[in-house]
């Protein structure tokens, strides 16, 4: 075979492909067969309107993210039961979260290698298997050390599926809407978990033990495992390599001359050539995807990772400490405090599921949309802080719901932005690292808020101000992204 990547594939209907033309899967209306490096690949459209298979894959991804929500909220709800059974203090409980994040970060280090060796299907099967095995093992009430290993497995599975599905869906037509609903499904899982666990464990007749609930989650995980194995059956390692090369060619052919003359874009193009593009033409095919070491040298990847670290940390910290803040500082009843926390997560879920459509139809780009969402979130947190000093309970519920709705789409919109800005070969490993770093914020920032809150009652009073400061930093950071990359930004590069 020729060293030219384009010459490695041809349609099986014997229609020739112009070696200088990049075939755009959005133009497909049916499955296409191509030959690449001796393997027959099945290539589908990236437009969900034209493919029943793609629709089923998207639904499967949504079910996966419901599993994420179910799993991640389980520990928080079961903390009293776990402390009672294992005789744990708060420090040992925190090790559960630490092991989960450690598994997530570990997966980020090897995401690129696993996609090269296993393809999207193999990574998805590995991730679903790890989560299913972890939850199934916990259902047998293992020793606490084994319990921690199980949550490490959960983190590995979450990291594998999260990075893979975010990068995959970010390259589909209508990625804003699809990713918004995807992350909204996480909110659905998070919303139903506390109520479901409380109902099952406190039933008047045949109440469940805490470990039995893990068996339920494991059963759901096994269902997801079968679904991802079947619906992503064409996503082989060779196809992953082929699609990465296709995106790389598309991004190169889309590098516009209209960017000439802008100093920021010249600097970006220079950076891309030195850090992202392959210097030797004959090595381009082999280096279709970057290594983790190459990815973490990119300031752009670190910029998105830092943004998600602040965002996820601030979002989770607000949701986690809201009830305690209202109980201790505002002397609210526990029921009302828990209801307002539920209102925040409900708003977040609604925002993620709906505002993606607003992004597409009313904003010129994800850059301007995310600026509006971050600004709206910041104003919402400021209003919450001010109104919490009054007796306007109904107004506070409205503010918290709207704030949650504005906070919701920031994560998926940031992912879409990174997909459209990052060079194609950096997408899987880069997005994996970006998501993992954001997950670190979910563990680190709430912990820091807890340290401040534990120091004194005055420390907890500063809780809303801390969140406000985080989102102010987030707003400034996004302004820098807008200034640097707005002129070269293009939507939905396949």
Q: How many domains does the chain have?
A: 2
CB atoms within 10 A of CB 481: 21
Query: pLDDT tens for residues 163-203?
Result: 788 878 888 888 888 888 898 898 888 778 877 887 888 88
Compute CA distances 101 → 107, 154, 187, whole Å: 10, 9, 19
Residue 148 located in a structural domain: yes
Residues 219 and 316 in one domain: no
Its domain, for residue 453, covers: 292-485
Residue 111 located in a structural domain: yes
Q: What three-state secondary structure class fits 252?
A: helix
Residues 296 and 386 in one domain: yes
What pLDDT is stored for residue 273 in this prediction?
41
Q: Inform me whether the pLDDT recorded for 220 exceeds 70.
A: yes
Last residue of a domain, one of 198, 222, 239: 239
Count Cβ neighbours within 10 Å for each residue of 375-390 and write b for 16 or more, e otherwise. Answer: bbbbbbbbbbeebbee
Query: pLDDT tens for residues 327-360?
Result: 778 888 767 777 788 888 889 889 988 898 898 8
Q: Can you tell me the distance from the alpha carbon of 190 to that of 71, in angstroms, rounded to the nearest whole number?
A: 8
Query: pLDDT tens for residues 273-296?
Result: 433 333 433 344 445 566 667 777
Residue 63 located in a structural domain: yes
Query: pLDDT tens for residues 61-107?
Result: 999 999 988 887 787 678 778 888 999 876 677 788 778 878 887 88
Last residue of a domain, one of 203, 221, 239: 239
Residues 337 and 431 in one domain: yes
Residue 217 located in a structural domain: yes
Residue 27 located in a structural domain: no
Residues 54 and 173 in one domain: yes
* CATH code at position 302: 1.20.1250.20
Residue 66 located in a structural domain: yes
Residue 399 located in a structural domain: yes
- Read off φ and ψ for residue 124, nearest 5 degrees: -65, -40
What is the H or E stretch that residue 454 is in?
helix 427-455
Closest C-alpha among 308, 302, 301 to residue 435: 308
Residues 222 and 303 in one domain: no
Residues 102 and 232 in one domain: yes
Residue 433 located in a structural domain: yes
Count Cβ neighbours within 10 Å for each residue of 436-464 and write b for 16 or more, e otherwise. Answer: bbbbbbbbbbbeebbebbeeeeeebebbb
- Pair of tokens at residue 445: 């920032």
Last residue of a domain, one of 194, 215, 239: 239
């Amino acid at each position: 075979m020729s060293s030219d990547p384009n010459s490695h594939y041809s349609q099986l209907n014997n229609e020739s492909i112009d070696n200088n033309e990049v075939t755009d899967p959005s133009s497909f209306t049916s499955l296409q067969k191509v030959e690449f490096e001796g393997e027959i690949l099945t290539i589908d459209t990236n437009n969900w309107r034209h493919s029943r298979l793609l629709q089923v894959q998207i639904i499967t991804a949504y079910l996966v993210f419901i599993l994420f929500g179910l799993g991640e909220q389980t520990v928080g709800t079961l903390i009293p039961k776990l402390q009672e059974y294992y005789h744990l203090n708060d420090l040992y409980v925190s090790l559960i979260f630490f092991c989960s994040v450690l598994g997530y970060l570990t997966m980020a280090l090897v995401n690129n290698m696993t996609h090269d060796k296993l393809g999207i299907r193999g990574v998805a099967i590995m991730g679903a298997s790890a989560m299913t095995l972890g939850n199934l093992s916990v259902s047998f009430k293992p020793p606490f050390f084994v319990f921690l290993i199980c949550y490490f497995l959960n983190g590995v599975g979450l990291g594998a599926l999260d990075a893979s599905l975010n990068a995959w869906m970010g390259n589909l037509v209508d990625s804003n809407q699809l990713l918004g609903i995807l992350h909204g499904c996480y909110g659905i899982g998070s919303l139903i978990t506390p109520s479901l666990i409380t109902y099952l464990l406190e039933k008047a007749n045949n109440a469940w033990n805490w470990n039995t609930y893990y068996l339920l989650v494991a059963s759901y995980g096994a269902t997801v495992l079968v679904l991802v194995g079947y619906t992503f059956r064409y996503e082989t390692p060779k196809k992953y390599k082929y699609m990465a090369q296709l995106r790389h060619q598309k991004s190169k052919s889309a590098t516009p001359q209209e960017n000439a003359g802008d100093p920021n874009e010249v600097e970006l193009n220079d950076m891309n050539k030195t850090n992202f593009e392959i210097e030797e033409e004959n090595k381009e095919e082999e280096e279709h995807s970057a290594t983790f070491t190459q990815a973490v040298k990119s300031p752009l990847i670190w910029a998105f990772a830092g943004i998600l670290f602040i965002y996820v940390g601030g979002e989770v910290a607000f949701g986690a400490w809201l009830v305690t803040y209202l109980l201790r500082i505002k002397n609210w009843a526990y029921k009302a405090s828990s209801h307002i926390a539920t209102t925040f997560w409900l708003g977040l879920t609604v925002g993620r599921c709906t505002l993606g459509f607003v992004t597409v139809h009313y904003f010129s780009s994800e850059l301007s949309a995310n600026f509006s969402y971050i600004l709206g979130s910041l104003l919402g947190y400021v209003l919450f802080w001010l109104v919490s000093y009054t007796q306007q309970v109904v107004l506070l519920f409205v503010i918290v719901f709207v704030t949650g709705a504005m906070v919701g789409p920031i994560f998926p919109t940031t992912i879409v932005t990174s997909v459209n800005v990052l060079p194609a070969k950096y997408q899987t490993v880069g997005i994996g690292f970006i998501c993992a770093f954001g997950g670190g914020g979910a563990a680190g920032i709430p912990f820091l808020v807890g340290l401040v809150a534990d120091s004194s009652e005055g420390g907890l009073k500063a809780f809303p101000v801390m969140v406000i400061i985080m989102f102010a930093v987030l707003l400034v950071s996004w302004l820098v992204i807008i200034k640097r990359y707005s002129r070269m930004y293009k939507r939905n590069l396949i």
